Amino acid sequence: MTLSVSAAGDSTPHRRAHRQRPGFVEKTLAGITTSIETAIFSEESARRSGFLQRRDPRVKVAAFVVLILAAGLSRDWLVLAALYAAVLAAAAVSAISMGSFLKRVWLGIPLFSGVVVLPSIFIVHGHPLFDIPLGFATLTPSRDGLFAAGIFVLRVAVSVSLAILLVLTTRWADVLKALQFYRMPNIFVLILAMTYRYIFLFLHTVSGMFLARKSRVVAKTTGREQRWWVVSSMGVLMSRSFRMSDDVYQAMLARGFSNRFRTLTEFQMRPTDWAFGLASLALGVASISAGWWLR
């Protein structure tokens, strides 16, 4: 009985000794995995049979650009709220996970823009709401400043939602081909295409380096050793990137690369595509007109 109690008493500290907080290697691997999963999710959602997935990419690119311009030029929160409601409805009928969609939108640029525009609440003159004593000064937010900040955040939210919805419902190759249709500079399209592909190669290389380090390290490393490894790995990663880019370019030339982005997808306009494009144009014009009229 004494031996069993002793063993049980020794097992708890032993288990606690092995409970360590995840280091930067585990966190980095988790971040890389999340980035890859996000990209894969975007490609999978673009292949679903939703409303926007079935629309012609050329029409979608033009329609979303018009709606983004409409959101940027609108001055009334009711118009922006109506545009945002239309975006949510389009995402719902396009088989997009609303929880994931809202998370990607509101945990990104809109919150950052809200922090950036926060000083305008106290700078813009208007009807004072209340006082915030800070000891050395007193901040007084105004109603006009709060309204202007809300309009700005709502504009950014609508614009980011439209951009994310376009990516989630359109394959990246189709987006690039649609940009070519609108006579975008060829070098711009090529840079976008190569950047998108190199991101995955870059993440794969970084993941391999972190996994190799994690599999070879047994003892707990100090912060100085971790920083030294990060600095040395940055140089190795840069050297690998340059060598890989040269190898890929030589392989592209050997396979007949002619400085032009090509895909096997053939676009075909249908009556529903024309109707969607005209409806988006009408919505954009109505949003701009209503925003200036309500102003």
* Most confident of the following: 87-101, 102-116, 203-217, 244-258: 87-101
**Per-domain residue ranges of the chain:** 52-170+271-295
Long-range contacts of the stretch 46-49 (C-beta < 8 A, 24+): 46/167, 46/168, 46/169, 46/170, 46/171, 47/171, 48/94, 48/95, 49/95
- pLDDT tens, residue by residue, 33-84: 565 556 555 667 777 888 888 889 899 999 999 999 998 888 788 888 899 9
Rounded to 10 deg, the angle between the 57-73 and 77-92 helix axes is 160
Tell me what percent of the residues of the chain surpass a pLDDT of 70.
68
The H or E element that residue 102 is part of is: helix 98-106
Residues sharing a CB contact under 8 Å with residue 150, sequence separation 6 or more, in sequence order: 77
- pLDDT tens, residue by residue, 184-228: 888 888 888 877 777 777 777 777 777 777 777 766 666 666 667
- pLDDT tens, residue by residue, 145-154: 777 777 888 8
DSSP designation for 134:
-
For residue 159, pLDDT over 60 is answered with yes
**Strands, DSSP E only, in the chain?**
132-133, 138-139
> Is the model more confident about 182 or about 209?
182
Would you say the pTM of this structure is higher than 0.85?
no
What whole-number distance in Å separates Cα of residue 212 and Cα of residue 276? 50
